[in-house]
Amino acid sequence: MSAGAPAQAFPSKLLRNVAGVWFGPAAERALLASVDVLVSEGRVTQVGSELAAPDGCEVIEAAHLLVLPGFVNAHHHLTQQLTRTISPGGDVFEWLAACYPVWARLTAAQAGIGARIGLAELALTGVTTTADLSYYFPAGRPDIFDAQIEAARDIGIRMLAVRGGMLDVGDAVRGRIGDSIASTIESPDTLLAELERAATQYHGPAQESMLRIGMGLTEPLWEAPSLMRELAALAEAHGLAAHTHLHPRPGDLEACAPGSIADRLAELGWWNDRLWVAHGTRLDAGLLDRMIADGVGFVTCPSSNARLGTSLAPAWRFAERGGLPSIGVDGAASNDGGDMLGEIRLTWQIQRHASSGSEYFAGLTPRTVLDWATVGGAKALGWQGLGELTIGGLADLACFDVSGLEYVGAQDLLDALVLCGVSHRAELVLVGGKAVVRDGRLVGVDEDELAHQGRAATLELFTS
């Protein structure tokens, strides 16, 4: 089976007497209690009371489980997985200056182990689909991308793997680490060739595909408009989504004058409904409105922003104006944990604080951010069919045990999942009907051995 092929069908599963199921299309879904959920041929086939189990069906007693559509993590950097806790007291430029010399030594073998760890952490907290933006491939090591794809296949979650790039680390970082880093950055010709290879070799556009390819850059390359146009044309030819960081900084505004950033990106072929942007910490009202009108997606990554001391992303303003934000865990170098449920909780807390005093405040409930983490992520990635638990929909399910002490006294299970603590592992995670997490542990992956491999790879990376 190729990396982008649809998941194979797995034996039917009947989740019996589920404590709560968040069921229905996004606009009208409701929390149903004490119902059964039948999964067959990789899709949800029935939801109701006292369903009959087909021949050969596995019956799972689920009176302790809250069942949701799987989370969609809309922004990550798997190449950073082995570089946690670097420069925790530094600003963003000090942090980057500390990271790049280490990232320059990353091998494909190390990247593969790191990606398995990052993807495992996501799966264990309910993620069934993740986006990843890998943009720094030390010259001569494009196989890092292939190693990450192999890791996603091993862990078993869907991935939109953005084959990204960069041309420079920027003056602020180069001034701290010197010019030698320039020799490790791949050329524009290599970037274009590798994007073409990734799209041709791996992209699976079907709804049930396990792998899609995207096109991206760590930052828009205002100084290289011809390259941006070539990348956009290549992405359009292959039907790829596009992704980048967009803050925007004063230099971005100057580079795009006298028009707006949206005008400039449109001119370069990037500004359309296949683009979603990360962080958005300085997006103003006009740009938010333009994003919503033109279908450009927005992903907020609160842990990363808090760690690096950047501005808070106006996700609540995007939602207030009619947009649907998404949520990203971000890379392990700027979010030293990989807990999607924790990121959802922090998103709710920060955006509630930021929106205090506004009319939108009362509507920013735990269900709101659960929408962002499910259908919001699906919309950002342009991947229809994700983020909803519906009859005939993909059987991508995240199931959490809500019978523990931390949930005692909770009046609503969905609220409780977001509010009552963090770092809760999912009890059961299905992707296309296949269990990738069962009884709170990865299926088919020895977590202890993977941790051992990760520690060895980290030591090798930092001492090479």
pLDDT, position 78: 98
pLDDT, position 4: 72
41: left (phi over 0), alpha (psi -120 to 50) or beta: left
The whole-number average pLDDT for the span 263-282 is 97
pLDDT, position 6: 65
Query: How confident is residue 421, by pLDDT bands cut at 50, 70 and 90?
Result: confident
pLDDT, position 10: 77
Distance CA 399, CA 429 (A): 6
Contacts of 367 (CB under 8 A, 6+ apart): 414, 415
What's the whole-number average pLDDT of the chain?
A: 95
Q: In sequence order, what E strands does 184-320 have? A: 211-217, 241-246, 275-279, 297-300
pLDDT, position 249: 87
Distance CA 435, CA 426 (A): 12
Nearest in space to 165 (alpha carbons), one of 179, 147, 151, 145: 145
Distance CA 258, CA 240 (A): 30
Nearest in space to 428 (alpha carbons), one of 442, 445, 416, 444: 442
Per the document, the length of the chain is 464
At 15-57, the pLDDT tens digits run: 999 999 999 999 999 999 999 999 999 999 999 999 999 999 9
Q: What is the pTM of this model?
A: 0.97
At 76-103, the pLDDT tens digits run: 999 999 999 999 999 999 999 999 999 9
Distance CA 16, CA 4 (A): 32
pLDDT, position 1: 43
The whole-number average pLDDT for the span 122-131 is 98
User: Residue 312: is its pLDDT beyond 50?
Assistant: yes
DSSP helix/strand/coil, 361 = helix
Distance CA 387, CA 125 (A): 15
The whole-number average pLDDT for the span 374-400 is 98
pLDDT, position 441: 98
pLDDT, position 11: 84
pLDDT, position 464: 86
Token output for 190: 């290599």
Exposed e or buried b for every residue in 273-291, given b needs 16+ CB within 10 A? ebbbbbbbbbbeeebbebb
- Residue 11, amino acid: P
Can you list the domains of the chain with their CATH numbers?
13-69+387-442 (2.30.40.10), 71-381 (3.20.20.140)
At 349-375, the pLDDT tens digits run: 999 999 999 999 999 999 999 999 999
Task: Specify the pairing of strand 428-431 against strand 397-401.
Answer: antiparallel
Listing DSSP states for 120-177 in one string gives HHHHHTTEEEEEEEE----TT-THHHHHHHHHHHHHT-EEEEEE---S---HHHHHHH
pLDDT, position 128: 98
